[in-house]
């Protein structure tokens, strides 16, 4: 069975989703989804361990060897992210059980869990596959199900947000298939490794360049990179809290993964640098994104929206790490992907508990909540501090590596800007603290109690993880460095 791990990783939620639909009682469906997700989590642990021991795993689906069939190819990079996605999904699902029961009407809960598992399948599928077109198929599974998840939000603006996301996401996906199609046209293959081998022969051609262009733009739409981020804040703000937590923690990370995979594995960093000033573009977009989004975040009243903007800013950091173009920079990006998932997961889950209790995510409604829900609020504060990058939290670790990478490259100005942007983060986090702790409650909150244990536990698992990985960095830093090394070592050195 161990040899089947790569495919089991995706197949388990894939089979789980339709089974989930067959459950008559939503509560059972929820528990079943949790079971499925934790199985996937166990498999991903096994996978990471195997990759550590044996190196890259290859699994030919249908028994057809690579360029003819589809293969799964698991290396450091994606086993690390598989672990991230499946663990986040599991933790979020623990909290989902009670939160969904409150936020959604009875007859939609089963659909929610099914769509959730489908989304998980899609994300895991994107991560595991080594086939360019297969990425598109699973991308669509995950996006269609996330449109559904978002549209299940109770506010009517959820619908428009989801529609907007649908339009943008489909344009992005279509751009991606144009890119894949053009690449296929020039090389005759769809397998990523095969592409990487055959692309250098046709590197000079304009078709490959335009393929690259389409691909990057498409992924950046999915990624919500700064000028293309418009769909994200609304989508996150009005989706059910659980969906927000899951999507914020995983979806954009997977998009970043696709970007990294193509830039480094398929096209090769040399090619990318030779044809486009991609570094500069990413640098500028990343920085502008960080600042614009952080400033917007400061003015938000809806706390979900606030953190959604902060997500856009954090994506800016990740892109910045890529823009550095060194091994350390890449490692910083990978590290930040993991750490950001931890922070945002914790934050949005905590917000989910708040919504569970007071049925609103407006900051002003949260006034004075610090005394009513001390544990939840403490979680939000720690998560927020982590966003700022205060020492002892994961946020600090990833910022630290980012700054190290920047200094190594000698970009002083950018370093200073990154530090300043952290101050902006401090401002919006402070706004929350101010509302929550130092504003007297205008509305009678006496009946509000602490969140139920089933929500506090997952929140605090993530918060503790936030602190733990902030102190003991050997695992995360180790793996991301290994992954960065392998990406550079394997393909960067090729002539």
Partner 1 sequence: MNIIGLYNYWIVVVLMAIGFFIVIAHENLIKKLIGLSIFQTAVFFLYISMGKVVGGTAPILDDKWHLYSNPLPHVLILTAIVVGISTTAVGLALVVRIQEAYGSIEEHEIQTLNAQDQIECQLEAYGFMKNNAFSVKSLDE
Partner 2 sequence: MTALAITRMNDLFAVVMLSGIYSLMSAGFFLDLDAVDVAFTEASVGAGISTLLMLASLKMVKRYEGKTKYKPMLALGVVGATALLLIYGTLDMPHFGSADAPIHQHVAPRYINDSMAEVGVPNIVTSILASYRGYDTLGETLVIFTAGIGVMSLLRVSRETKDQQQKRVPADMQQQIILRIVAKMMLPLILLFALYVQFHGDYGPGGGFQAGVIFAAGIILYTMLFGLSTARLVFKSSLLQKLTAVGVLLYAGVGVACMLLGGNFLDYNVLRHDPVHGQHLGILLVELGVGITVATVMITLFFKFTWRTVKHKYIEQ
Please identify which residue in 7, 15, 58, 171 interacts with partner 1, judged by CB under 8 A.
171
Which three-class secondary structure state does DSSP give residue 430? helix
Residue 147 binding partner 1, by CB under 8 A: yes
Question: Rounded CA gap, 161 and 405, in Å?
Answer: 37
Please identify which residue in 9, 14, 345, 355 interacts with partner 2, judged by CB under 8 A.
14
Question: Rounded CA gap, 92 and 249, in Å?
Answer: 9
Closest approach of partner 2 to the CB of residue 284, in Å: 18
Q: Measured at the alpha carbon of residue 425, what is the angle toward residues 306 and 160, in degrees to the nearest 5?
A: 20
Question: Rounded CA gap, 360 and 362, in Å?
Answer: 6
What are residue 222's phi and psi, to 5 degrees? -65, -35
Residue 7 contacts which entry, partner 1, partner 2, none (Cβ below 5-8 A, type-dependent)? partner 2
Please identify which residue in 7, 230, 275, 292 interacts with partner 2, judged by CB under 8 A.
7
Please identify which residue in 152, 318, 394, 479 interacts with partner 2, judged by CB under 8 A.
152
* Smaller CB separation from partner 1, 327 or 362: 362
Residue 217 binding partner 1, by CB under 8 A: no
**Element at 274 (helix H, strand E):** helix 269-275
DSSP β-bridge partners for residue 71? 60
* Smaller CB separation from partner 2, 55 or 69: 69
First-to-last C-alpha distance (Å) of the chain: 39
Please identify which residue in 56, 160, 203, 439 interacts with partner 1, judged by CB under 8 A.
160
Question: Rounded CA gap, 418 and 396, in Å?
Answer: 12
Residue 137 binding partner 2, by CB under 8 A: yes
Subset of residues 330 to 359 that bind partner 1, contact rule: CB under 8 A: 357-359
Is-contact 318 333, C-beta < 8 A?
Answer: yes
| CA nearest neighbour of 10 among 130, 133, 160 | 130
Closest approach of partner 2 to the CB of residue 378, in Å: 35
Of the ranges 20-28, 176-184, 382-390, 410-418, which one interacts with partner 1 (CB under 8 A)?
A: 176-184
Half-sphere exposure of 78 (CA within 13 A, CB side): 27
* Smaller CB separation from partner 1, 63 or 447: 447
Is-contact 422 402, C-beta < 8 A?
Answer: no
Residue 111 contacts which entry, partner 2, partner 1, none (Cβ below 5-8 A, type-dependent)? partner 2
258: tokens are: 């696709």
Question: Rounded CA gap, 226 and 458, in Å?
Answer: 31
Question: Rounded CA gap, 161 and 163, in Å?
Answer: 5
Please identify which residue in 30, 67, 172, 470 interacts with partner 2, judged by CB under 8 A.
67
Please identify which residue in 76, 165, 214, 226 interacts with partner 2, judged by CB under 8 A.
214
Question: Considering Cα of 232, then 148, then 246, then 283, what sign does the dihedral take?
Answer: negative
Please give the size of the binding site for partner 1, defined by CB under 8 A.
45
328: tokens are: 């350390």
Residue 188 binding partner 2, by CB under 8 A: yes
Chain-centre distance for alpha carbon 395: 15
DSSP, res 201: G
* Smaller CB separation from partner 1, 446 or 474: 446
Question: Rounded CA gap, 444 and 448, in Å?
Answer: 9
Please identify which residue in 62, 410, 440, 495 interacts with partner 2, judged by CB under 8 A.
62
Residue 29 contacts which entry, partner 1, partner 2, none (Cβ below 5-8 A, type-dependent)? none
Residues that bind partner 1 in the complex, under the rule CB under 8 A: 133, 136-137, 140, 144, 147-148, 151, 155-157, 159-160, 162-163, 166-167, 170-171, 173-174, 177-178, 181, 184-185, 190, 301-302, 357-360, 362-365, 442-445, 447-449, 452
Residues that bind partner 2 in the complex, under the rule CB under 8 A: 4, 7, 11, 14-15, 17-19, 21-22, 59-64, 67-70, 107-108, 111-112, 114-115, 118, 121, 125, 131, 133-134, 137-138, 140-141, 144-145, 147-148, 151-152, 178, 182, 184-190, 198, 202, 205-211, 213-214
């Amino acid at each position: 069975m161990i040899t089947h791990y790569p495919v089991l990783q995706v197949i388990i939620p894939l089979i789980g989703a339709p089974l989930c639909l067959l459950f008559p009682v939503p509560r059972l469906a929820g528990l079943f989804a949790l079971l499925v997700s934790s199985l996937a989590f166990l498999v991903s642990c096994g996978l990471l361990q195997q990759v550590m021991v044996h190196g890259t795993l290859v699994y030919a689906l249908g028994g057809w060897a690579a360029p003819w069939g589809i293969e799964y190819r698991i290396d450091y990079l994606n086993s690390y992210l598989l672990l991230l996605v499946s663990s986040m999904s599991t933790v979020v699902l623990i909290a989902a059980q009670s939160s969904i029961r409150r936020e959604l009407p009875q007859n939609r809960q089963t659909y929610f869990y099914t769509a959730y598992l489908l989304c998980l399948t899609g994300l895991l599928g994107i991560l595991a596959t080594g086939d360019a077109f297969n990425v598109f198929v699973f991308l669509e599974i995950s996006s269609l199900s996330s449109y559904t998840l978002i549209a299940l939000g109770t506010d009517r603006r959820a619908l428009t947000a989801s529609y907007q996301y649908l339009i943008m996401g489909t344009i992005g996906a279509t751009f991606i298939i144009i890119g894949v199609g053009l690449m296929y046209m020039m090389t005759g293959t769809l397998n990523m490794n095969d592409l990487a081998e055959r692309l250098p022969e046709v590197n000079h051609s304009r078709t490959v360049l335009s393929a690259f262009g389409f691909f990057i733009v498409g992924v950046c739409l999915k990624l919500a990179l700064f000028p293309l981020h418009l769909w994200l804040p609304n989508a996150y703000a009005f989706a059910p809290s659980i969906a927000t937590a899951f999507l914020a923690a995983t979806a954009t990370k997977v998009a970043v993964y696709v970007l990294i995979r193509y830039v480094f594995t398929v096209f090769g960093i040399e090619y990318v640098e030779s044809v486009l000033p991609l570094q500069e573009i990413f640098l500028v977009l990343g920085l502008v994104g960080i600042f614009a989004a952080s400033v917007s975040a400061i003015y938000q009243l809806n706390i979900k929206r606030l953190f959604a903007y902060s997500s856009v800013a954090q994506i800016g950091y990740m892109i910045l790490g890529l823009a550095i173009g060194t091994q350390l920079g890449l490692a910083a990006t990978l590290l930040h992907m993991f750490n950001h998932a931890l922070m945002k997961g914790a934050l949005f889950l905590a917000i989910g508990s708040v919504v569970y209790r007071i049925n609103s995510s407006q900051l002003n409604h949260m006034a004075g909540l610090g005394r009513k829900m001390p544990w939840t609020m403490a979680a939000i504060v720690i998560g927020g501090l982590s966003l700022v990058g205060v020492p002892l939290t994961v946020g600090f670790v990833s910022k630290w590596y980012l700054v190290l990478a920047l200094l190594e490259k000698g970009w002083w100005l950018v370093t200073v800007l990154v530090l300043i942007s952290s101050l902006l983060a401090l401002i919006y986090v402070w706004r929350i603290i101010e509302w929550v702790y130092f504003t007297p409650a205008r509305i009678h909150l006496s009946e509000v109690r602490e969140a139920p244990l089933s929500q506090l536990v997952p929140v605090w698992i993530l918060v503790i993880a936030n602190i733990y990985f902030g102190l003991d960095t050997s695992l995360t830093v180790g793996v991301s460095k290994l992954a960065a090394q392998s990406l550079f070592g394997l393909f960067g050195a090729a002539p």
